[in-house]
Structure 1
Amino acid sequence: MFDWLIVGAGFAGSVLAERLASQRNERVMIIDRRPHIGGNAYDHLDAAGLLIHRYGPHIFHTNAQQVADYLSRFTSWRPYEHRVLAEVKRPGSGETLRVPIPINLDTINRLYGLSLTEAEVEAWMAARAEPVAEIRTSEDVVVGKVGRELYELFFRGYTRKQWALDPSELDRSVTARVPTRTNRDDRYFTDSFQAMPAEGYTKMFERMLAHPNITIRTGVDYRAIRDQVPHRKLIWTGPVDEYFGFRFGKLPYRSLRFEHQTLDQEWHQPVGTVNYPAEDVPYTRTSEYKHLTGQVHPRTSITTEYPSAEGDPYYPIPRPENQVLYKRYEALADATQDVWFVGRLATYRYYNMDQIVGQALATFQRIAAGVPRASAVVAAE
């Protein structure tokens, strides 16, 4: 008899497995339908011996010291600040340039051949911004800040590729995630803690799940084994609609197809990721892992991402009608006894890795406060 069956061995499931096993001395089985632990953060050595991320680049960053402290129990860190360039055509000339994204002072000066200061670029952007009475969509966010030309150059095509929807059809949260800066800060993130697990994410997950109370089974599906594994309670980190048999229909997601390549050269690009916003380019970005890992190697490995309607669910599509559908599933989840729904797929919301860790730690605190330990339950029986 397991005290807990946890479905999904990504961040949400693994953090909860570790906490339940180490802090409550309870027996946990954690399963995943993929043949590995780590969820989308899974990394491994490719045929050339280069550490790559199977599901695209995962850059760890957080402002939550509690989250950084918790994960530091299972890994040391390599400081890393992610930088991204966008390949665009200079307005007027059509010359191809790579400029920093998020848009900053250098982006504007290089695109337009200017020498603006921080104070001047703010006024320059304000002069091009379009008045928006109410910011509701992703288009509103950008044109209301920097105007239509920069919106078309950096955001519209990229967003249409990523989501198969125009920014005017998407919630404002999509483009609001990418700030606009008037200084020369070219870091993609500004969090106080930015680093990569020194030996990779998979090694970190292995240490997290190494407790003797934890049993790991990968390459298995929950529905195939749920009646074969006696358990008292369940933690579900998969799609919430799947748990309920898609009773109200499927929640919409966007997926990705990853093209991994190993190149016979030491470096491919000057930064970790290059974005390709133009709509006539079929992919959205290419990432080079040696920037992230610090690995020294005569060859290099890259991953190019192609957005897709088919495949694993990665990105909940932020539209009002989808939230209405999710709320119906959320009501079912809230009414389901002895099952906890945790993580991006189970709560139909886009979370960064640190946010999922924080959600899992908070869920454990609720369990600790409100659920009797298994030993107490056995004694009562």
Structure 2
Amino acid sequence: MFDYIIVGAGLAGSVMAERIACELNRKVLVVEERNHIAGNCYDEMDPTGILVHRYGPHIFHTDHEDVFRYLSGFTEWRDYQHHVLGFIDGVKVPLPFNFNSMEKLLPEGLSRRIQDKLLERYNYGSRVPILELLNDKDPDVRFLADYVYRKVFLNYTVKQWGLRPEEIDPEVTARVPVVLSRDDRYFTDTYQGVPREGYTRMIQRMLNHENIKVLLNTRHSEVLELRDDKFNFMGREFQGRVIFTGKIDELFNYSHGRLPYRSLDLQFERLDTEWFQEAATVNYPNDYDFTRITEFKHLHPAESEKTVTLREYPCKHDEGNDPYYPVFTDESRMMYGKYRELAEKIENLTLLGRLAEYRYYDMDDVVKRALEVFEEEVR
């Protein structure tokens, strides 16, 4: 009999399984619905010889030294600084919007004047939220904020979330920054990169332990039954702890309704050309139905005369696709609260990860959270 059952072989579940197996020397069963480990971090070698992220691009970045040190026990890193371009008014400019972007899109005199005014108010290198600039008394500064909001963020957000402009809360959407420098990097974290052999290989090493068994192609309901606030495993009451990283509403059979998510229709394309675009990712906020195109050779260089791209088409989550982004509304937060109340009645249940906790975690955040939960609730 296993001491722990972990539902989900993504990053959260795999970190927890590794800690329990290595630090506690306990037996762990990891149950995974998909036919592979690594969750949305899953990558694999394409026939072109290019390593491809099958659920969209994942770039690791963190300021948490402990998280970086922990993951470095399972992978070497390829130093990689992520660069994103935005297709704005027919021109590709760096994102987040910075002085280089400004000079490519605005008249020279106006651009110089705005830069001077911004540097009178803020330090060089600051990342200033648009909401703050929209409230500035200077008309040139307000013009810039309004321009970036409309051209860079608004329509992208409409496509991403499927909402009309008037439904988008300006105080949420206007958090996008203007960077007061010429630093074209998308992230500024201390540690940045991608696993040299990929995320799947990194997580394989986490799960490669004699105390861990992984069961793929298996829904948790096939082996676990929740009845009267107790879990049955294969027909017998389970005395160990269940760590659940899946959808919390599914765990409770959608008894309070389905929590809303946005999903993605991912369209990959192999091209008979060595390179397709200038950067790993190009965003299209105002043109086309897709939001961005990623070219994976920028992330993982390969000696190939071909290339692989990915177009992302945001869509509503249903039973036919995967949940990506929680849709936070008053109603969804209330619904999640009801599910949390049900979960708290189950003594041997731990919720972990973006689906179970209904939060959007970056990769470093979910690793940090898993390490903390292990120390605080499991160890």
Q: TM-score by structure 2 length?
A: 0.87
Give the aligned partner of residue 335 of structure 1: 345
For structure 2, the 5+ residue unaligned runs are: 122-127, 225-232
1:356 to 363, 366, 370: 366
Give CA deviations for 1:250-309 in whole Å, capped at 9, x if unaligned: 11000001001111111111111000001x511000001111112332211111100011
Give the aligned partner of residue 233 of structure 1: 241
Percent identity between the two aligned chains: 44
Give the aligned partner of residue 91 of structure 2: 97
The Cα shift of 1:336 comes to: 1.9
> 1 CA distance for matches of 2:4 and 2:75?
25
For residues 54 and 33 of structure 1, do their structure 2 counterparts lie closer, same or farther at Cα, with a shift above 3 Å needed?
Answer: same
1:269 to 244, 262, 277: 277
Name the SS of the counterpart of 1:313 in structure 2. Answer: coil
One-letter identity of the residue aligned with 1:313? P
2:315 to 303, 308, 312: 308
| CA RMSD of superposed structures (Å) | 2.3
The Cα shift of 1:179 comes to: 2.3
One-letter identity of the residue aligned with 2:234? Q
Name the SS of the counterpart of 1:318 in structure 2. Answer: coil
Give the aligned partner of residue 130 of structure 1: 134
> 1 CA distance for matches of 2:275 and 2:45?
17
1:108 to 102, 108, 130: 102
Give CA deviations for 1:294-333 in whole Å, capped at 9, x if unaligned: 2332211111100011321100012232212211212222
1:284 aligns with 2:291: yes
> 1 CA distance for matches of 2:276 and 2:172?
29
For residues 164 and 70 of structure 1, do their structure 2 counterparts lie closer, same or farther at Cα, with a shift above 3 Å needed?
Answer: same
Give the aligned partner of residue 192 of structure 2: 194
- Check whether the contact 2:81–2:187 (CA below 8 A) recurs between aligned residues: yes
Give the aligned partner of residue 375 of structure 1: none
One-letter identity of the residue aligned with 2:274? E
- Check whether the contact 1:102–1:188 (CA below 8 A) recurs between aligned residues: yes
- Check whether the contact 1:159–1:166 (CA below 8 A) recurs between aligned residues: no
For residues 53 and 339 of structure 1, do their structure 2 counterparts lie closer, same or farther at Cα, with a shift above 3 Å needed?
Answer: same
Give the aligned partner of residue 230 of structure 2: none
1:220 aligns with 2:218: yes
For residues 144 and 159 of structure 1, do their structure 2 counterparts lie closer, same or farther at Cα, with a shift above 3 Å needed?
Answer: farther
For structure 1, the 5+ residue unaligned runs are: 90-95, 133-142, 370-381
- Check whether the contact 2:33–2:218 (CA below 8 A) recurs between aligned residues: yes
Give the aligned partner of residue 182 of structure 1: 180
Give the aligned partner of residue 138 of structure 1: none
> 2 CA distance for matches of 1:239 and 1:186?
36
> 1 CA distance for matches of 2:164 and 2:274?
38
> 1 CA distance for matches of 2:340 and 2:370?
17
Q: TM-score by structure 1 length?
A: 0.87
- Check whether the contact 1:2–1:229 (CA below 8 A) recurs between aligned residues: no
- Check whether the contact 1:84–1:274 (CA below 8 A) recurs between aligned residues: yes
Give the aligned partner of residue 37 of structure 2: 37
The Cα shift of 1:174 comes to: 5.3
